[in-house]
Amino acid sequence: MLDISSSAIAHTYSTNMQTELLGDIQRIEVSGDKLVIKTAMAEAHIYIYSPTIIRVNMTKSPSAPDQSFAVIQQPSAEISYKDMPDSIEVRTSTLKLRINKSPLRFSFYTADDQLLSADDERFGTNWQGEQVITYRKLFPDEKFIGLGEKTGNLDRRGTSYVNWNTDASEHGIKTDPLYKTFPFFIGLHSSLMYGLFMDNTHKSYFDFGATTDEQMSWFGADGGDMNYYFFGAQSVTKILEDYTWLTGRMEMPPLWSLGYQQCRWSYMSAKEVLKVAQTFRKKKIPADVVYCDIDYMDNYKIFTWHPENFAEPKAMMDELKAMGFHLVTIVDPGIKVEKGYKQYDEGIKKNYFATYPNGEKYIANVWPGRCHFPDFFRGDVRDWWGKSFTALTDAGVDGFWNDMNEPAAWGQNIPSLMQFGKRPMPELRNAYGMEMARATYDGTKKILKNRRPFVLTRAAYAGTQRYSAVWTGDNSAYDAHMLLGQRLVNSLGLTGMALIGVDIGGFTGNPTPELMVRWNSLGVYTPMFRNHACIGTVYREPWQWGTKNEAIIKKDIQQRYRLLPYIYSSFYQAHQTGLPVSRTLAIDYTHDENIYHPKYQNQFLFGDAILICPTVSTDDTADVYLPKGNWYRLSTEEKFIGLQVITAEAPLTDLPVFIKASAIIPMQSVIQNTAEKGDGILELNIWNGDEPNQFVYYEDDGLSYNYEKGEFYKRVIRFDPGNKLIVLDTTEGNHPSKFTHINLILHGFGKVKTISVNNSAVKATKAGKGLSFKFENQDGEVRIQF
Ligand code: MIG
């Protein structure tokens, strides 16, 4: 039987496929953990992953293996359904999926029957050749957030996107696609929400009412299954928790990767690298990381060092280490075609490279000239790649930057004939960068034994957070690009990524000194704080901008180091729950219309409680939207009531940064790098407010995986204004804190009555100005009565 809609659109489709898919349900059965719905040629498989996650997989090849690069969980074994004349129903404790029988259509409801999301009644899911598209009902007030690294507004309504990982050098503020694929979005309407992750690595499409006269939204891919996970939790935080449960969360990053990172294409010799590091130390500007871009290699051959300019890498590394610096070196996927080059010879011998269908090795030109490309989709190739890093780790490198892994080649459009094993490039392209990062991470983790490697990748697919940090590629040195960068960071945070950077200062072009200063001040509040610049541009190090600007840049970098206890605890939160460190206001203030306004959409929370308003370098005031609650300007401690727009002073010395009332913000004194012991004082800032609050304070050695075996230091800090009480719970874990003393700094409080540990009074001394007290950091329960 044909449904009416198919005749209306039949002229664009192969009629057979159309009818086969959208026709009636022929058979329904429960098979193991899945519900199988059979139509003439296709099958829909329904799985329950959790009470808030249901998967729908519509496939034309039901017997093909069910594989995913992103998903690391299994469905729960239980699924049952209720059969009714026109439809069937699958239920969990929080979700209801109604499946219409004729034609086959899917609608998701809350347990109390509120419609969250539904197929467009006319068109549902269609194949057109191999391309598969699902058309959805669009609610009049529906907004969309997500998709990771995508240009455009926070609310993606009215825009259309393509996922096709691309070396988007010189991209503008509207360019699409960029480097990464995160086919996951959250829809918001009628005070409800849902998440949808289409797990498909083919070239894919998302249209949020842009091309349909606002009649529907649609998404799909050039091949493969219509395979999506539907998330029904009713808070963005919980949806992100579910999404990162499904696709994994980041491990604790090496603490040093959260310090200041100085990069350039390229520091051309060991001497130059050392000079940069020495200058930071001489000028007492804190920093942890310096980079080697492509010119450290011999003829751009991966896993080699330039014989003259980097003749003694170990000696260079020893000097860097003595100064407390880590080195990150770049690697590209392209292996130079050159007999006698180790990686080339090994790869040829073992057949590790991508081919044409006739078996010939695929060759494209990149930096080294003619290159082969490792097939990172094979376990043995990933192992081999991973082991090759000894060429770098032997010298002492522990950071690995994966570039050009879209994959990129001169000419950009790699022919679709390129194959990984039997699978054509277009099917896997969007996962290539992720699998390279995986090979890099797994390999270097093994080599470094118990030490955490730092991996940074440009191309990515959903799930990459398990292996690597990301940066947003080749941005440009102008204000609008700085603001775009912030939206990309905020949006990447909605897809499980937490360790994210942009090239501070802008990769292409030269920033004005004002832009450099401003961008650096925003970098303080960027999860990964890395200054990077293109070859041929002016040098970007903090001391290249005149003494006055250098002083501002230095002060801002110092602020970053002061905040590290708070930042590291925020990464612990990302590791535990999937909540990002840079958070679009859509996470906490989802249903507040104002935060989506183009004027305020770049604002974000850094961690739980620091609100940042990115401000262009040409303005010295900023209109800031303060959401619900009370707020303090960080620099002046002036208090503001939320739900209003204020005009804030925004000189280059003072980015508009606000602290949420009731905030708990642990800080430390300035150190020059994260390995430095410091003065042992944890500065615990509490900002008075009406709402109770709590903060999970977290420390570990910052370097090893011992935290997985209980070697961490953790304590919950509670602020309870109702009882005029601040409590530091008894500590957990087997790692001693590096702080011997606490310096409690109370903002907006009248007085303190008592401080006790395990109910006995504590000897506290007045510390500095304002209401502040210094006392010994003891493991027992600390109570501060105010
Ligand atoms: O073709 O390695 O995005 O960060 O400096 C350019 C040189 C290759 C692109 C990266 C950029 C890096 C540059 N790379």
Cα distance between residue 323 and residue 673, in whole Å = 9
Q: Does residue 167 have its Cβ closer than 6 Å to ligand 1?
A: no
Cα distance between residue 697 and residue 157, in whole Å = 38
**DSSP per-residue string spanning 540-566:** -SGGGGHHHHHHHHHHHHHHHHHTHHH
Q: What percent of the chain has pLDDT over 70?
A: 97
CB within 8 Å of 366: residues ≥ 6 apart:
300, 332, 334, 404, 408, 409, 410
Cα distance between residue 179 and residue 407, in whole Å = 9
Is 90 exceeded by the pLDDT of residue 391?
yes
User: Is 423:354 a contact under the CB 8 Å cutoff?
Assistant: no
Gap from CA of 403 to ligand 1 centroid (Å): 7
Q: Which residue's CA is the nearest one to ligand 1's atom 12?
A: 265
Q: Is 255-332+380-411+428-577 CATH 3.20.20.80?
A: yes
Q: Which residue's CA is the nearest one to ligand 1's atom 13?
A: 265
Gap from CA of 310 to ligand 1 centroid (Å): 19
Write down the pLDDT at residue 14: 43
Is 90 exceeded by the pLDDT of residue 7?
no
Cα distance between residue 494 and residue 488, in whole Å = 10
- Two tokens, residue 355: 């081919």
For residue 327, the one-letter residue type is L
The ligand 1 atom nearest the CA atom of 403: 10
Q: Does residue 294 have its Cβ closer than 6 Å to ligand 1?
A: yes
- Pocket probe for ligand 1: among 261, 264, 265, 291, the residue whose CB has the most ligand atoms within 8 Å is 265
The ligand 1 atom nearest the CA atom of 330: 2
**CATH class for the region spanning 582-609+619-654:** mainly beta
Into which CATH architecture does domain 664-785 fall? Sandwich (2.60)
Gap from CA of 526 to ligand 1 centroid (Å): 20
Into which CATH architecture does domain 4-247 fall? Sandwich (2.60)
Active site residues: 403, 406, 474
Domain ranges, ordered by start, for the chain:
4-247, 255-332+380-411+428-577, 582-609+619-654, 664-785
Q: Minimum mean pLDDT among 305-309, 519-523, 768-772: which range?
A: 768-772
Q: Does residue 473 have its Cβ closer than 6 Å to ligand 1?
A: yes
- Two tokens, residue 185: 């979005």
Cα distance between residue 401 and residue 437, in whole Å = 9
Give tens-digit pLDDT for 38-93.
Answer: 987 789 999 999 999 999 999 999 999 999 999 999 999 899 999 999 999 999 99
User: Is 393:148 a contact under the CB 8 Å cutoff?
Assistant: no
Give tens-digit pLDDT for 720-731.
Answer: 999 999 999 999
Say whether 420 sits in a helix, a strand or coil: strand
Give tens-digit pLDDT for 181-192.
Answer: 999 999 999 999
Gap from CA of 330 to ligand 1 centroid (Å): 9
CB within 8 Å of 420: residues ≥ 6 apart:
354, 375, 377, 378, 428
The count of other CB atoms within 10 Å of the CB of residue 633 is: 19
In whole numbers, what is the pLDDT of the chain averaged over residues?
95
Give tens-digit pLDDT for 470-489.
Answer: 999 999 999 999 999 999 99
The ligand 1 atom nearest the CA atom of 507: 4
Cα distance between residue 686 and residue 47, in whole Å = 46
CB within 8 Å of 719: residues ≥ 6 apart:
662, 664, 686, 689, 692, 693, 694, 726
Q: Does residue 265 have its Cβ closer than 6 Å to ligand 1?
A: yes
The ligand 1 atom nearest the CA atom of 503: 4
Write down the pLDDT at residue 17: 46
Gap from CA of 683 to ligand 1 centroid (Å): 39
Instruction: With 0.95 as the threshold, say if the pTM is over it.
Output: yes
- The answer to whether domain 255-332+380-411+428-577 and domain 582-609+619-654 are alike in fold is no
Q: Does residue 317 have its Cβ closer than 6 Å to ligand 1?
A: no
Write down the pLDDT at residue 77: 84
Q: Does residue 403 have its Cβ closer than 6 Å to ligand 1?
A: yes
Is 70 exceeded by the pLDDT of residue 23?
no
Q: Does residue 155 have its Cβ closer than 6 Å to ligand 1?
A: no
Gap from CA of 201 to ligand 1 centroid (Å): 24
Closest CA relative to residue 354, chosen from 335, 372, 378, 367: 372
Q: Does residue 291 have its Cβ closer than 6 Å to ligand 1?
A: no
